[in-house]
């Protein structure tokens, strides 16, 4: 019996907190952890439509389009600027991965030079007619919701998020996500929540707010100040998947949960490392290094552990190091180093 395709309103309930796509960070094992802990929705890392066209069976493509059972259905994020190619690859993804795909998200916010130099990512905010055609063609090609993630504008002199949002809605976007910075800002400065609020008021489809969500209190503040339908956590989840649990407790019950203990953080790092190696192989140990740094930031002995992690190439050695670190934390009581403030990585 055929299943009914999901709608944006079944996928994205009001006051949802979702995990944003981050290249090289939100691989399937980490997404599964975040979904299990409380993320309402997850997205793949951004995937090139051209890459899917020219080499659909490459190992990296298979990894990018692999889902953790805990997160299904998952949003698939594509980037590109050719309307026909984007529509074709969206249909291919849905045909190949079926019920595992919650929605197709179009990345119109990536600020990286090699992406925007091809007219893709946030460069599409400078060509709204083309962006609208991409959305229209993709919405016609697939039965799941097509959504768009973009920024406030290209630079401070071209803030066009409101007009752009209206164009994307008219073209068929089922939901919009706005990151509160321009392309020129990359990830610097303070996110512009006021423009996000303007977008939320300007369209009728659900709007997800993104930018500077580093705590449960930040998530609640954005919902209250901007009137968005949902919030997206990206960098705030690095080494901190508990942010979703904490946000849900605060939003649903007004309860402030205690942060994870140092031992909980190391336990999660070990779980994440084992899952990533099982998913991608021993070479993924190098990819795990940055995650380890995020998990243990601000903890006693973290600097020494990071130094050792950077020279480890095998999963068994990494697990032994983290096991030893757990023993050290149990011995010291897990108090924070005075000379290593939270935030150093």
For the stretch 255-293, pLDDT in tens is: 999 999 999 999 999 999 999 999 999 999 999 999 999
pLDDT reported for residue 289:
97
Which regions in the chain score pLDDT beneath 50? 1, 336-345
List, as one string, the DSSP characters of 234-275.
Answer: SGGGTT-THHHHHHHHHHHH---PPPPPHHHHHHHHHHHHHH
pLDDT reported for residue 339:
38
Closest CA to 51 of 82, 19, 18: 82
The verdict on residue 305 lying in a domain is yes
Closest CA to 75 of 54, 97, 102, 55: 102
The answer on 123 and 57 residing in a single domain is yes
The answer on 151 and 249 residing in a single domain is yes
**DSSP SS3 for 106:** strand
The answer on 116 and 84 residing in a single domain is yes
The verdict on residue 107 lying in a domain is yes
pLDDT reported for residue 267:
97
Domain boundary among 221, 253, 285: 253
Q: What residue numbers bound the domain in which 81 lies?
A: 8-253
List, as one string, the DSSP characters of 54-82.
Answer: H-TT-HHHHHHT---TTT-SEEEEEE-S-
Instruction: Return the CATH number at 317.
Output: 1.10.1200
Closest CA to 134 of 82, 93, 170, 178: 82
First to last CA, the chain: 50
Residue 74 annotated in active site: no
- Cα-flanking dihedrals φ and ψ of residue 170, to 5°? -65, -30
Quote the number of domains for the chain.
2
Helix ranges (DSSP H) in the chain:
8-11, 28-37, 49-54, 59-64, 83-97, 113-116, 128-141, 161-171, 193-202, 216-226, 242-253, 262-280, 284-295, 302-309, 315-332
pLDDT reported for residue 321:
97
Domain boundary among 236, 253, 270: 253
The verdict on residue 339 lying in a domain is no
Alpha-carbon span 180 to 182, nearest angstrom:
7
Q: What is the pLDDT of residues 147-176, one digit of tens each?
A: 999 999 999 999 999 999 999 999 999 999
The answer on 214 and 176 residing in a single domain is yes
Alpha-carbon span 61 to 22, nearest angstrom:
16
Domain boundary among 194, 225, 253: 253
pLDDT reported for residue 329:
94
The verdict on residue 343 lying in a domain is no
pLDDT reported for residue 343:
33
């Amino acid at each position: 019996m055929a299943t009914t395709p999901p709608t944006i309103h079944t996928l994205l309930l009001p006051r949802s907190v979702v995990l944003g796509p981050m290249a090289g960070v939100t691989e399937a094992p980490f997404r599964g952890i975040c979904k299990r802990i409380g993320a309402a929705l997850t997205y793949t890392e951004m995937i090139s439509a051209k890459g899917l066209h020219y080499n659909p069976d490459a190992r990296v493509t298979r990894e990018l389009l692999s889902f953790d059972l805990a997160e299904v259905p998952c949003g698939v994020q594509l980037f590109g600027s050719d309307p026909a190619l984007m529509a074709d690859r969206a249909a291919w993804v849905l045909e190949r991965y079926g019920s595992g795909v919650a929605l197709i998200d179009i990345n119109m916010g990536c600020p990286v030079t090699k992406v925007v130099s091809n007219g893709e990512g946030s460069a599409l905010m400078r060509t709204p007619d083309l962006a609208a055609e991409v959305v229209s063609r993709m919405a016609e090609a697939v039965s799941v919701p097509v959504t768009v993630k973009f920024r406030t504008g290209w630079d401070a002199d071209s803030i066009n998020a409101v007009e752009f949002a209206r164009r994307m809605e008219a073209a068929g976007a089922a939901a919009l996500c706005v990151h509160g910075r321009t392309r020129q800002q990359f990830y610097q400065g303070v996110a512009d929540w006021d423009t996000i609020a303007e977008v939320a008021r300007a369209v009728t489809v659900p709007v997800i707010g993104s930018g500077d969500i580093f705590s449960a209190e930040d998530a609640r503040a954005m919902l209250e100040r901007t009137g968005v339908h949902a919030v997206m956590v990206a960098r705030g989840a690095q080494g901190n998947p508990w942010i979703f649990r904490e946000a849900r407790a605060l939003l649903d019950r007004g309860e402030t949960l205690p942060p994870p203990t140092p031992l909980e953080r190391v336990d999660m790092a070990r779980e994440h490392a084992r899952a990533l190696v099982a998913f991608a192989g021993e070479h993924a140990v190098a990819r795990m290094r940055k995650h380890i740094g995020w998990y243990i930031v601000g903890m006693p002995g973290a600097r020494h552990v990071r130094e050792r992690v950077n020279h480890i190439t095998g999963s068994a050695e990494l697990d032994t190091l983290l096991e030893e670190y757990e023993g050290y934390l149990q011995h010291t009581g897990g108090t924070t180093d005075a000379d290593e403030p939270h935030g150093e990585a």
